Structure 1
Amino acid sequence: MENKKPDNVVYTVEAGYNANVLPYATGVGAPVISVGDVVSWKSRGIDNVNKELGNKFNELKLQYEKLMEEYEWNELVYSAKFSFEPVIGEIYHLYRDAQGVNFLSLIGPNEWNKEHIGTFKLNSDKKWMLLNAQDSNFY
């Protein structure tokens, strides 16, 4: 009975008194060791990542929609009828005649009474930049 130690004393014959090197609390007065809430940390991380990726997706979607709109306007202008070589930097107007054929002109919409589709400017990349559109449902 004399070799028996009380329950609150950490002692082994091989290691002796080794409470200071153990990875867990060994006494009643030792600080509480608690495992952090990893699930809530993961949930917050997933929410943050999903929000970030959602924002990036929406940004790319808007860029794609803008690119498709530019493509459709350029397709409309390039498929229109014109008998001159457009000059880079000049402003041109796209019209629809009585037969429904689109044509490009230098004449402004307030100078004659034709169905005006839009006003465009040709940039150095040969891309038509929309400056003003009467109705965006023409393409």
Structure 2
Amino acid sequence: MKQKKQSVASFVNPIDPDKIALNPHLLPYAHNVGGAVIKPEDTGKLKGRALSAMNQQTDMQLSQIYEQMQLLAAQAQKIQVRKTISDYIYQTELRFEPLINHIYHLYRKPDQRLMLSLIDQNAWGRSGKDLVFLASVKLLADHTWDIIEQNPDFEFG
């Protein structure tokens, strides 16, 4: 037993005490051969990739919103056209009650008044030669009118 104590007391550590870390788990590198490799990350690359991904995603979302805005603008334009044509038609001389989902024909008389008719432009014969065809329209359920066919020489508005 004395010999063991003597050998422990006479043991000299071959590693220089200046090169031993007190807390090796806090070192920014592996402190032994079996330790995990710790590589410092290039923060410039990380930020660059993150910014690129962020720009791609936000550009994609903004283009989707832009397409939706274009669709809404087109729908609003169609509603505006329906409102305009409806204003024209409700100022005409109506001698009958228009029915929903039926097609009617809008004409301008020689005295410049508008007239809504059940008769198609091709069915008038000689008696309709003084009428100027403006549009064929359909009464919708909300009592606005939708243009089915329009005279290219006439603009509503």
Q: TM-score, with normalisation over the residues of structure 2?
A: 0.68
Q: Determine whether 1:118 maps to 2:135.
A: yes
Is the CA contact 2:136–2:150 (under 8 Å) kept in the aligned structure 1? yes
Letter of the 2:155 partner, please give it.
Answer: N
Deviation of 1:65 (Å): 1.0
Is the CA contact 2:83–2:145 (under 8 Å) kept in the aligned structure 1? no
Letter of the 2:140 partner, please give it.
Answer: N
Q: Given the superposition, is the C-alpha separation of residues 124 and 49 from structure 1 closer, same or farther in structure 2, using an over 3 Å criterion?
A: closer
Unaligned runs of 5+ in 2: 1-14, 31-36
Alpha-carbon distance between aligned partners in 2 of 1:54 and 1:109, rounded to the nearest angstrom: 42
| 1:97 alignment partner in structure 2 | 109
Alpha-carbon distance between aligned partners in 2 of 1:124 and 1:43, rounded to the nearest angstrom: 46
Q: Which SS does the other structure have where 1:131 is aligned?
A: strand
| 1:58 alignment partner in structure 2 | 70
Alpha-carbon distance between aligned partners in 2 of 1:66 and 1:122, rounded to the nearest angstrom: 15
Alpha-carbon distance between aligned partners in 2 of 1:71 and 1:102, rounded to the nearest angstrom: 17
Alpha-carbon distance between aligned partners in 2 of 1:89 and 1:49, rounded to the nearest angstrom: 39
Q: Given the superposition, is the C-alpha separation of residues 123 and 41 from structure 1 closer, same or farther in structure 2, using an over 3 Å criterion?
A: closer
Describe the superposition over 1:53-95 as per-residue Cα deviations: whole angstroms up to 9, x where unpaired: 2111111111111111111111111121122222333321110
Please tell me the root mean square deviation across aligned C-alpha atoms, in Å: 2.6
Q: Runs (4+) of structure 1 moved beyond 6 Å? A: none
Taking only the aligned residue pairs, the percentage that are identical comes to 22
Is the CA contact 1:117–1:138 (under 8 Å) kept in the aligned structure 2? no
Of 35, 47, 56, the match for 2:59: 47
| 1:138 alignment partner in structure 2 | 156
Q: Which has the higher helix share?
A: 2
| 2:41 alignment partner in structure 1 | 33
